[in-house]
Amino acid sequence: MMKNEKTKRVISGIAIIIITFPILFFTNTPVITVYMLFVAAVGIYELLLCCKLDKWYILVPAEIIAFAAHFICRLRLFGLQDLDQNTLLLAYVFMAGVFILYLFALAVFIPDKHNIETNGFAGLMCLYVLGGTVAPVMLCELPNGEFDFPLIFISAWMTDLFAYAIGSKLGKHKLCPTISPKKSIEGAIGGIIGNIVGFAIYTIVLAIFFPQIKPNYAALIISAIVLSVVSQLGDLFMSLVKRKFGIKDFGKIIPGHGGILDRFDSITAVSVTIFIFYSVFRFTRGF
């Protein structure tokens, strides 16, 4: 990577943090919904462009579903009555099913322009990206979920920072050379350590400002390790997708990083996982 490119990457990374960090304090407002909807809308466009499915008759339905998914999960913030969890889940399943069936129908009726493999993959990936942006918003709606919400960004940022810092200095053993030649086992371990440090700092800050919160430290350490691994897997998975479709970056919206998906690949994977932790396994119930 050229020095100029590294400089762009650092400046862009700092800019993203500066923009995102204040938003973490507006979890109970439409601000976070608008922010994550923007990420979803741009991310879905980049994904469909990558799959060469950026036709208006695919983009429009995909973006409408993205808007609807984010809107209905926080109706109270727009002066309406919230849907119960079962109804909300049913609505999501219905929208997902309709979109997938629509893509399958295109492959059936327009076979010269669409094939079932690409359409099916693109449909599932759109739902993956959408789920990764809806999950943080829904997490904020759960009891004390606003305290867990920052862990999504801490996991992605601290893992990425420490993996890069340690990997560039001590990395000798390749992690996945066929997918991401620059990533090393040493860097991956460094990312896990970095996430544990990030969780520890966050917990200390919470204890100072919210003494009523009693963190479960064992759960935090386990969560930090698992979420760091998930963050790195999310990064590697999206790198695999780019290699599959022969592109370097998903877009050019963020100088030095590429597209939205290039920067939010880890966050997408982590957000879904931490939501599952909270709502099913209760790993972060200590918050």
- Tens of pLDDT, residue by residue over 180-203, are 888 899 999 999 999 999 999 988
Instruction: Characterize 216-248 residue by residue with b for buried, 16 or more Cβ atoms within 10 angstroms of its Cβ, and e for exposed.
Output: beebbeebbebbbbbbbbbbbbbbebbeeeeee
Task: Using the Cα atoms of residue 137, residue 130, residue 248 and residue 234 in order, give the sign of their dihedral.
Answer: positive
What does the alpha-carbon distance between residue 58 and residue 129 come to, in Å, rounded to a whole number? 16
- Is residue 254 helix, strand or coil? strand
CA-wise closest residue to 132 among 202, 70, 196 = 70
Higher pLDDT, 219 or 123: 123
Q: What is the C-alpha separation between 105 and 61, in angstroms, rounded?
A: 14
Confidence of residue 5 (pLDDT cuts 50, 70, 90): low
Look at residue 78 in the predicted model and tell me its pLDDT: 74
Q: Phi and psi at residue 81, in whole multiples of 5°?
A: -90, 130
**How confident is the model at residue 15, as a pLDDT?**
74
Statement: residue 82 has pLDDT above 60:
yes
Token duo for residue 82? 């919230």
CB atoms inside a 10 Å sphere around CB 93 = 10
Looking at per-residue pLDDT, the higher value among 78 and 176 belongs to 176
Task: Report CA dihedral (266, 267, 270, 272) to the nearest 10 degrees.
Answer: -120
Average pLDDT over residues 106-123: 93
Least-confidence region, from 36-45, 47-56, 127-136, 206-215: 206-215
- pLDDT at residue number 256: 64
4-17 residues labelled b (16+ CB within 10 A) or e (exposed): eeeebbeebbeebe
Return mean pLDDT, the chain: 85
pLDDT-based confidence at residue 285 (cuts at 50, 70, 90): very low
Contact present, 119 and 254 (Cβ < 8 Å): no
- Taking the complete model, does pTM exceed 0.85, yes or no? yes
For residue 183, give the H/E element and its range.
strand 180-184
By C-alpha distance, which of 172, 184, 128, 132 is closest to 155?
Answer: 132
What one-character-per-residue DSSP string does 121-139 give? HHHHHHHHHHHHHHHHHHH
Q: Is the pLDDT of residue 30 over 70?
A: yes
Q: What is the pLDDT of residue 229?
A: 95
CA angle 11, 21, 197 (to 5 degrees): 90
Does residue 51 have a pLDDT over 80? yes
pLDDT in tens, 225-250: 999 999 999 999 999 999 989 888 88
| 257-278 mean pLDDT | 84
Statement: residue 284 has pLDDT above 70: no
* DSSP letter string, 75-113: GGGGTSPPPPHHHHHHHHHHHHHHHHHHHHHHHHH-TTT
User: At 69, which amino acid appears?
Assistant: A
The larger pLDDT score, comparing residue 151 to residue 79, is at 151
Percent share of the chain, pLDDT over 90: 39
145-170 helix and 116-139 helix, angle to the nearest 10 degrees? 120
How confident is the model at residue 11, as a pLDDT? 73
Q: Which is more confidently placed, 10 or 286?
A: 10
Residue 231 vs residues 114, 149, 167, 191, 213: alpha-carbon distances, Å? 32, 15, 16, 9, 26
Q: Can you tell me whether residue 175 is helix, strand or coil?
A: strand
